Amino acid sequence: MDKLQIIEKKIKFNPQRIYRLIAKQAGMDINGLSEPCYKIKTKLFQHILYRELNVSEKEWKAFANESENTLGPKGKGNTYRVPFTYALTYLYYRFVRLNKAKMAETVLLYMLIKFYGSSYEKFFPEACQDPIFRYTIDNIVKVHLFYREKTIANALLFLSKYTQRKFFNRIKSNTEWYPELMHDFMHDSRQKINQSSRSFANAYYNNAANGKGIAIEVDSDDEGENKNMFQTTTGASGSSAAVEKFIKSMFVYKNYNRKTVEEAKKRSRIKSNLAENIISLIHERSSEENVKIILTSFLKQVLDTKTLCGPEFYKTVGQLMHKRNLKDSFIFKNLVITFADSLYENVSSTTHKANTRDKISVRIFVAFYLTISFRNLFC
User: pLDDT by residue (tens digit) across 319-333?
Assistant: 888 876 555 556 888
17 lies in the same domain as 131: yes
pLDDT classification of 368: cutoffs 50, 70, 90: very high
Which are the contacts of 171, defined by CB distance < 8 A and separation ≥ 6?
Answer: 92, 93, 96, 178, 181, 182, 185
Residue 69 has pLDDT above 70, yes or no: yes
Largest separation between any pair of C-alpha atoms in the chain: 69
pLDDT classification of 364: cutoffs 50, 70, 90: very high
238 lies in the same domain as 356: yes
Looking from the CA of 222 toward its CB, the CA atoms found within 13 Å total: 11
Residue 102 lies in a domain: yes
Residue 20 has pLDDT above 70, yes or no: yes
322 lies in the same domain as 290: yes
CA distance 95 to 106: 10
Q: Please report the pLDDT score of residue 235 as a whole number.
A: 44
188 lies in the same domain as 245: no
205 lies in the same domain as 262: no
247 lies in the same domain as 154: no
- pLDDT over 90 for what percent of the chain? 35
DSSP string across 270-289:
--HHHHHHHHHHHTSGGGHH
pLDDT classification of 351: cutoffs 50, 70, 90: low
Looking at residue 56, the DSSP 8-state letter turns out to be: -
Segment among 11-20, 185-194, 341-350 with least mean pLDDT: 341-350
Looking at residue 330, the DSSP 8-state letter turns out to be: T
Neighbouring C-beta atoms of residue 335, cutoff 10 Å: 23
CA distance 39 to 80: 21
Q: Please report the pLDDT score of residue 239 as a whole number.
A: 67
Crossing angle of helices 356-378 and 272-282, rounded to 10° = 60
- pLDDT over 70 for what percent of the chain? 87
199 lies in the same domain as 238: no
Residue pair 219/275 in contact by the 8 Å Cβ criterion: no
Q: How many domains does the chain have?
A: 2
Residue 215 lies in a domain: no
- Which of 151, 175, 209 finishes a domain? 209
- Cα–Cα distances (Å) from 184 to 7, 71, 92, 170, in that order, read 21, 11, 14, 11
Residue pair 114/85 in contact by the 8 Å Cβ criterion: yes
Looking at residue 254, the DSSP 8-state letter turns out to be: -
Neighbouring C-beta atoms of residue 228, cutoff 10 Å: 14
- Which of 153, 175, 209 finishes a domain? 209
Which are the contacts of 313, defined by CB distance < 8 A and separation ≥ 6?
Answer: 307, 371, 375
CA distance 209 to 190: 28
Residue 237 lies in a domain: yes
99 lies in the same domain as 234: no
User: pLDDT by residue (tens digit) across 109-142?
Assistant: 999 999 999 999 888 877 788 888 888 888 887 7
Mean pLDDT of the chain: 83
CA distance 99 to 101: 6
Residue 229 has pLDDT above 50, yes or no: no
Residue 233 has pLDDT above 90, yes or no: no
State the residue range of the domain holding 76.
3-209
Residue 222 has pLDDT above 70, yes or no: no
Residue 142 lies in a domain: yes
pLDDT classification of 232: cutoffs 50, 70, 90: very low
179 lies in the same domain as 238: no
189 lies in the same domain as 236: no
Mean pLDDT of 350-368: 86
Instruction: Specify the 3-state DSSP secondary structure of 129.
Output: coil
201 lies in the same domain as 294: no
Residue 214 lies in a domain: no
CA distance 347 to 46: 30
Residue 218 lies in a domain: no
Please, what is the end-to-end C-alpha distance for the chain in angstroms? Answer: 64
CA distance 214 to 235: 14
CA distance 251 to 164: 37
Which are the contacts of 154, defined by CB distance < 8 A and separation ≥ 6?
Answer: none
- Which of 155, 178, 209 finishes a domain? 209
Amino acid identity of residue 15, one-letter, is P
Residue 374 has pLDDT above 90, yes or no: yes
Residue 223 has pLDDT above 70, yes or no: no
Neighbouring C-beta atoms of residue 224, cutoff 10 Å: 8
Residue 220 lies in a domain: no
Helices (H), 33-129: 43-53, 57-69, 83-97, 101-123
191 lies in the same domain as 231: no
Residue 216 lies in a domain: no
Residue 29 has pLDDT above 60, yes or no: yes
Mean pLDDT of 255-268: 90
pLDDT classification of 303: cutoffs 50, 70, 90: low
